[in-house]
Structure 1
Amino acid sequence: MSHETQDDAAPSAITDATLVPEQWPVHAGLIGSILLMASPLLLAFVMSTQTVPEVYDITNIGAGSDGLANYLEVLTTYEMASYMLNSLVMSVVVTVGKIAVSLLAAVALVFYRFRFKNAIFFLILFTLMVPVPVRIVPLYELMAAWGWSNTLLALTGPYLASATAVFLLRQHFLSIPDSLVESAKLDGVGPLRFLWDVLIPMSRGMISGLGVITFIYAWNQYLWPLIVISDQNKQVVQVGMKYLQSVGNAGQTDWGLIMAGAVLTLLPPLVALIAFRGPLLETFGLAE
């Protein structure tokens, strides 16, 4: 009888705890903060459904009469679908290539002994101090000398090396027990097999988090593609958004089309963040 009384009392205690009046301001503040941070995205979505007169009517804050017409026009007439495909190919190639190069570099820095290893590692870190504008002119001259201008190689090649990814993977590999490494050597496991069968499975969270960060970073590139790509049909989505800014009638910018393009541009990074939020939080040490 006493057990039933305790069991019956437990749910009511939990229910009462969740309805404490003192907590209502906290929840209201959190909900208000979320809505405030999401308001630019919500406003962009609403404007993406409006016509030009509706956008310039400040009293109109509801969904517009165009519906999804702006999205269809952006994807077809203004070739946003082609720009998004180019950005997707670039982002995937950069993500896979950067992770592969960084893995090999981190393995060499942790598990191999060679002269000037520490000096090479500090030289890699030193590249983080070089601003991007300083590197653009030499990179462009290098791409032109190799004949890579206006190609996918020019878009992806300069992004395959990453000091940040090498540093994070190196620090992660340093936490792997030495006994595991010695056991692999005694079993005759080669370097590539050790990397594939041991290091990568043990670093799945770190690799996934770096992959998400790299994908979003590559997707948002604007300056380098604008410089190195001359054909408009080969451009990426961020440069495509620049082309949309010139669209308008009678001197009025068509913000409906621009907002539709912005929402479409936001979707792939948002999907990546939602799908890999766990590994991303683990990478920054914020996972529960």
Structure 2
Amino acid sequence: MPPLTIAITIGDPSGIGPEVVAKALTDPSLVSAANWIVVGDAEALNAASPGWTSPASTVSVDDLAQLAGHDLEIGRLSPDSGRAALAYIRHATQLCLDGRAQAMVTAPVNKEAVTLTGATFTGHTEYIAELCHVDAPRMLLVNDRLRVLHVTTHIALREACGISSDAVLRTIEIGDDALERLGLDQRRIAVCGLNPHAGEHGLFGSEDAEIIAPAVETARSSGIEVTGPLPADTLFVQALRGAYDLVVPIYHDQGHIPMKLLDFEHTVNVSLGLPIVRTSVDHGTAFDIAGQNKADPSSMKAAMKLAVQLAARV
């Protein structure tokens, strides 16, 4: 099998993305695991890691020169950096769609910086889905202790409360397929309730019984090993103790909070429902420490490692 080629974006060049990419690429085990194409501006890489050069023949840089004629403002919100970050995403996505890369790994972008450019942007996952002409992608968070796959992500909580049975069912189906791709022998899925105590038999809302439960039953009847809706406050404890292989939270914070509490440094974001493999760090641009050589590359390294594993299974 030919060596895998994986694209890595540097994210918002004003943030810690260039630094964590440069640091991750000093790991010999990662450098040798694939051919890596760093997508970004060489200027930003050199600003983050003075004197940075490719550490091996397996690492190349697609210098898009998006910052040419602009001042790189490290640690500050900048529309120029937001515009550059979008260009990096588009380029890496196209590499994957064209078959020149088998996966992409993304460093963090800043939604506010992108919005300053006039673009409508709710997140990496949704933007890449738009580039791939795909509706309703899903966000999977993975670490060594837990996996969660959200029904909804970057929308207002009041909108998340308006979920449909079809959305819940599709998430369960995507999750079952993802567990198989991850090589798990068991694929036990549990779905969170939306309301406290999963509605307590209708005392705290009807969504759990009327929307979530029918989706779970339909998935179960198709052969998927799934249960729910279950109270979220105890479900995550049960999953940590080995009862389930995947938890399906209904909204963003219901899944993100436990994952970041468990292992903030090593949690990886995986986009599902796309025609390409995409993994990402699960942290932000951290402007407060950008340019100070304080950024921890652990999440980037974990994202790169998982991208290799997933791309090898496609």
**Which interval holds the TM-score relative to the shorter structure?**
under 0.3
Q: Which has the higher contact order (CA 8 A, sep 6+)?
A: 1
Relative to the length of structure 2, the TM-score reads 0.25
Q: Which is greater in Rg?
A: 1
